[in-house]
Structure 1
Amino acid sequence: MEQVLAVYERPYEQQYPVVCLDESPKQFLEVVEYRAADGTRLQDSEYIRHGVGEVYMAFEPLAGKRYVSIQDDHTARTWVGVIATLLDGPYRNCTRMTLVGDNLSAHKPSAFYANFTAEKAKAYLDRLEFVYTPKHGSWLDMAEIELSILQRDCLSRPMATKERLISEVAAWQERRNQQQAKANWQFTTKDARVKLHKLYPTI
């Protein structure tokens, strides 16, 4: 926990961005509509399910930037692909990225070697610093906060297809990035040692 909090206290440096990454599932649901006898359009309480997509949120809190991608699953291969796309795309000019995320079994640096040549895997890893949130500490990942905003603004309504989800999320992302909506993180290591003192060992 303190390692994550220390990262959040770093000043903004464009060449050394701090990026939070998290993912959340989204069901593809088709709404069934019909017309009543008087012509009124009604919506059935049941949906037709068309599978599930994974929403990956990469959020740079100090820059007010977020990059959302819709994937088919949350395997190690997909996770690696999302990070590689960030390093090759919006962060291609950065020297080193600090990536904050949860410590799932699929989220291991070794996965780069399973999906790229050794030379390419090392080139990616040389530009990455992994900082993992502790068990039961996903609230420390600011991408989770941004996902909740996306859920409120966009994902709360049913969408039947992956294409529709991609379109809606892209429009949301553009609006948020134009606003440069940043995160004002206030919780520090000093606060943790007071408010969460029961988590610390007694010496």
Structure 2
Amino acid sequence: MRPPLLEVPMSPVSADQIELTPAQTVELTRLARAGTTPQRLALRISIVLLAADGQSTRAIADRLSICVDTAAKWRRRWRATPGLSALGDQKRSGRPPRFTPVQVAQVKALACRPAAESGLPLSRWSAPELARQVITDGICVRISASTIRRWLSQEALKPWQHQSWIFITDPHFATKAQRVLDLYARQWDGTPLAADEFVISADEKTSIQARCRCHPSLPPGSARMMRVNHGYHRRGAVAYLAAYDVHRAKVFGRCEHTTGIVPFEALVTQVMTQEPYRSAKRVFWVVDNGSSHRGAKAIDRLAQQFPNAVMVHTPVHASWLNQVEIFFSIVQRKVLMPNDFTDTDVITRRLADFETRYNQTATPFKWKFTTTDLNDFLQRLDRHTDCPTAA
């Protein structure tokens, strides 16, 4: 007699089995194993993959140690709209907003008006002052300074900051600035400069004081920045005159007790009596309108002293067009700050040593303000000037 056949129990297969394409299987498997995939998304992907293998909802829940409702939820969502978008969180309503868009706009508009227009004895707004005024004006009943600060940051508004500026007063600003920018581009009157023509940017850094600290400065240490004593004794001051070759990135400097025509002429002589400037066809000296080299008389003095030297002035209140100012900012950061010098001789030696060090590795500045930028700037300024002012 043949023994009866034993029934082998089969794994329960869900009636709503998920079907995945080979591409979907590869992509979901990659995401489930990736270390950068968020944990909740990896769990939902695992539910879909197990469902595609024919596992029941109960088996998936037991295997992943989750409740049956969770497994059924993400299985159901995938079947409804197959794709990764089905495994994302749905939008939630969240807490209803306390402030209307109109109130937000009113606060931003208030921040863009001077505080004095609201009758306050304030030069500029702060976030707490804005919050107080918003409540006073009846825009809202209650608001915090941090909320206002967050709203203003959305528009990059910082009414507690201010910046000074100066309006163009030179009637020949465009012409003068154009000549300087052309020289930086090695042009003069529409003609390229020759190899034996050079451009020098010169100016003075006045009143560099020697401040001898009452106690020695402490070097930096672990979790401690350099410390400089606040008290000091004045040990005199010097002026630093510098001439910067724009295209060769070479600096010529000297220290004097004061500025003026004589010290500046000494700087010019220091440069023009050495090669390649002595035998150059032309050497253009870009200077600002300081008293040491102002006006037509300064141009004539330079031409009489050195016939191959041509003085070119920047527009009034436009020293930022003078490239030597960039070098002065480097000197200020790297040499003069913090100011702790026993006397002016120490300053003089320090500046001379820095010149030598700088000239060994210096490269020309990457001057990016071109004549095109100048024209755009003047056009924006004209539009600003033509705007009608409020009565």
TM-score range relative to shorter protein: 0.7 to 0.9
Is it true that 1:33 corresponds to 2:229 in the alignment?
Answer: no
Secondary structure, counterpart of 2:264 in structure 1: helix
Give deviations 1:91-132, integer Å, cap 9, x for gaps: 333232100010123314635988xxxxx97241x1211111
Structure 2: segments with no counterpart, 5+ residues: 1-176, 187-191, 217-226, 386-391
* 2:291 corresponds to 1:105: yes
Q: Cα distance, 1:180 vs. partner?
A: 3.0
Residue of structure 2 aligned with 1:155, choices 303, 328, 336: 336
Deviation readout 1:34-87 (Å, 9 max, x if unpaired): 7xxxxxxx9642111122211112111211111121111111111111111111
Greater helix share, 1 or 2? 2
Instruction: Tell me the secondary structure at the aligned position of residue 106 of structure 1.
Output: helix
Aligned to 1:129: 310
Alignment of 1:59-74 (within 5 A): 59-74=244-259
> How far is 1:15 from its partner?
2.0
Q: Is the 8 A contact 1:77 1:111 kept in 2?
A: no
Distance 1:186 1:43, change over 3 A: closer
SS across alignment from 2:334: helix
CA distance in 2, matches of 1:155, 1:20: 21
Could you tell me whether the CA contact under 8 Å between 1:99 and 1:130 is conserved in 2? yes
2:22 is aligned with 1:22: no
Q: Which amino acid in the other structure matches residue 365 of structure 2?
A: A
The change in CA–CA distance for 1:182 and 1:128 in structure 2 (over 3 A counts) is same
Instruction: Tell me, in whole angstroms, the C-alpha distance in 2 between the residues paired with 1:100 and 1:14.
Output: 18
Mapped partners of 2:228, 2:337: distance in 1: 16
Counterpart in the other structure of 2:357: 175
Give the secondary structure class of the aligned counterpart of 1:196: helix
Residue matched to 2:366 = 184
Among all aligned residue pairs of Structure 1 and Structure 2, give the percentage whose two residues are the same amino acid: 26
Q: How many residues align?
A: 189
Contact 2:209 2:344 in 1 (8 A): no
Moved more, 137-146 or 83-92: 83-92
Q: Based on CA coordinates, which of the two structures has the bigger radius of gyration?
A: 2
Task: Report the CA distance shift for 1:5/1:121 in structure 2 as closer, same or farther (over 3 A).
Answer: closer
Distance 1:43 1:151 in 2: 16
Give the aligned residue type for 1:104.
G
Q: Distance in 2 between matches of 1:55 and 1:99?
A: 17
Partner of 2:239: 54
Distance 1:65 1:49 in 2: 32
- Deviates further, 105-114 or 19-28: 105-114
SS of residue matched to 1:89: coil
* SS of 2:180 mapped into structure 1: helix
Q: Which amino acid aligns with 2:323?
A: M
Please tell me the residue identity of whatever aligns with 1:122. Answer: Q
CA contact (8 A) 2:180 2:321 kept: yes
Higher relative contact order (CA 8 A, sep 6+): 1
Unaligned runs of 5+ in 1: 35-41, 115-119
8 Å CA contact 1:12–1:62 kept in 2: the answer is: no
Match of 1:145 among 310, 326, 344: 326
Partner of 2:185: 9
Structure 1 pair 43/102, CA: closer, same or farther in 2 (3 Å)?
Answer: closer
Instruction: Spell out, residue by residue over 1:179-203, the C-alpha distance to the aligned partner (whole angstroms, 9 max, x if none).
Output: 132111111111111133245699x
The CA distance in 2 between the partners of 1:50 and 1:69, in whole Å, is 19
Aligned mates of 1:30, 1:165 — CA distance in 2: 11
More strand by share: 1
The residue aligned with 2:115 is: none
**Aligned partners of 1:171 and 1:199: how far apart in 2?**
43
C-alpha separation in 2, matches of 1:200 and 1:138: 21
- The alignment's C-alpha RMSD in Å is 2.6
